[in-house]
Amino acid sequence: MAFLPIPDAFYDNVFQITAKALTDRGITLLLADLDNTLVPYKTPLPSDELIAWRKELEAGGVKLFLLSNSRKPGRPKRFADALGIDFVGHAGKPKRSGFRKAMERTGRTPAQTAIVGDQIFTDILGGKRAGVTALLVRPIRLAGNPGRYIRYWVETPFRQAAKRRGTL
């Protein structure tokens, strides 16, 4: 079965996503990509603002869970531990297995789960394939890798469709 990788909503950054907007739709698990979604590439630890946002989500009934494709040994674990959340590293997005593993660990169903990420063909497509709500954020930073510019350019039609849908 084919899935169009059109996000369900678009945000400028993760801090615009609220527990109320999620729980109003029955979502109690928010899977989050790491690099360029939560922090810029190579940022080793979460900011105070990110820690405060995680606490706000939790207080509102939403569990934050790191779902990263990072191939750097230990990076997702160190970051998740510092943020106080669980994680699946080397998740293999857009494959469904990482999504399923996260939902199994937390006892959530696809209807109770959303993914937030900055890439259409990993985060959003994987979320659609897993049957979860897919939230797109503007990438934090593109600098440093010419391949990112090309990838984001190819994703432009899907990003525009997401912007037209707005937020949850």
- Find where tokens 């503007």 sit: 138
| Rounded (to 5) percent helix, strand, coil in the chain | 45, 15, 40
Top pLDDT among 153 and 105 is at 105
Compute the distance between CA of residue 84 and CA of residue 50 in angstroms, rounded to an integer: 11
Domain 9-161 is in which class? Answer: alpha beta
Q: What is the pLDDT of residue 1?
A: 42
DSSP symbols for 21-56: HHHTTT--EEEE--BTTTB-TT--S--HHHHHHHHH
Q: What is the pLDDT of residue 72?
A: 83
Compute the distance between CA of residue 167 and CA of residue 16 in angstroms, rounded to an integer: 9
Looking at 61-156, which runs of residues are DSSP E strands?
63-67, 86-88, 113-117, 133-137
Residue 101: burial class (beta carbons within 10 Å; 0-12, 13-18, 19+): middle
- First CA to last CA distance, the chain: 26
pLDDT score of 95 more than 70: yes
Largest CA distance in the chain: 41
So where are the chain's domains?
9-161
Give the residue among 35, 139, 48 at the shortest CA–CA distance from 89.
35
Q: What is the pTM of this model?
A: 0.92
Q: Average pLDDT, whole number, for the chain?
A: 92
Confidence of residue 132 (pLDDT cuts 50, 70, 90): very high
pLDDT score of 54 more than 70: yes
Please write the tens of the pLDDT for every residue from 96-111: 999 999 999 999 999 9
Helix (H, G, I), strand (E, B) or coil at 79: helix
Query: What mean pLDDT do residues 52-68 have?
Result: 98
Nearest-Å Rg of the Cα atoms of the chain is 14
Confidence of residue 71 (pLDDT cuts 50, 70, 90): confident
Confidence of residue 168 (pLDDT cuts 50, 70, 90): confident
Provide the H-helix boundaries in 47-108.
Answer: 48-59, 75-83, 97-106
The tokens of 69 are what?
Answer: 């494709």
Q: What is the pLDDT of residue 134?
A: 97
